[in-house]
Amino acid sequence: MTTRIRNITVDCADPYRLAGFWSAATGYVEDPQDPNTAGGDEAFLSVPGTSLGLLFIAVPEGKTGKNRLHLDLAPTDRTRDEEVARLEQIGATVVADHRTADGKGWVTMADPEGNEFCVERSDAERAGS
């Protein structure tokens, strides 16, 4: 018997705002039949072509420590460095820069509520090294 991951759930203060950030970051979309609403207790984004979703749930407590689980992002149509700059423009912040002189490495970033994620090199960049 097996099981599958249906949703990756993120506790947050403002599900609507955070879903907006992650939609802009990933291109994942809300359900047009059940759109996300400002002030709601949850917001949902579906991952196109899969049954996986990102679910954002309002919780009363704030983030207090380092994430025990995080997402690793790899851009598909730009470089890692271009993606880091784009994500900063839509509200992410750099937490730690692990890029190396030879072009390898990653950047740890945080979304608008402080949840960490990493940005790695694109497949094209990996193939070139």
CATH for 89: 3.10.180.10
**Do 83 and 51 fall into the same domain?**
no
Examine residue 65 and state whether it is found in any structural domain, yes or no: no
Examine residue 66 and state whether it is found in any structural domain, yes or no: no
6 within 8 A of 52, measured Cβ to Cβ: yes
Number of domains in the chain: 2
For residue 108, CA distances in Å to 13, 29, 80, 101 come to: 21, 24, 12, 17
Asked whether residue 25 carries a pLDDT value surpassing 80, the answer given is yes
Examine residue 2 and state whether it is found in any structural domain, yes or no: no
What pLDDT digit, counting tens, does each position of 104-122 carry?
Answer: 999 999 999 999 999 999 9
40 within 8 A of 32, measured Cβ to Cβ: no
- As a whole-number percent, the residues of the chain with pLDDT over 70 amount to 99
- Predicted structure pTM score: 0.92
**Do 22 and 44 fall into the same domain?**
yes
Query: Which residue segment(s) compose the domain that 47 sits in?
Result: 7-58
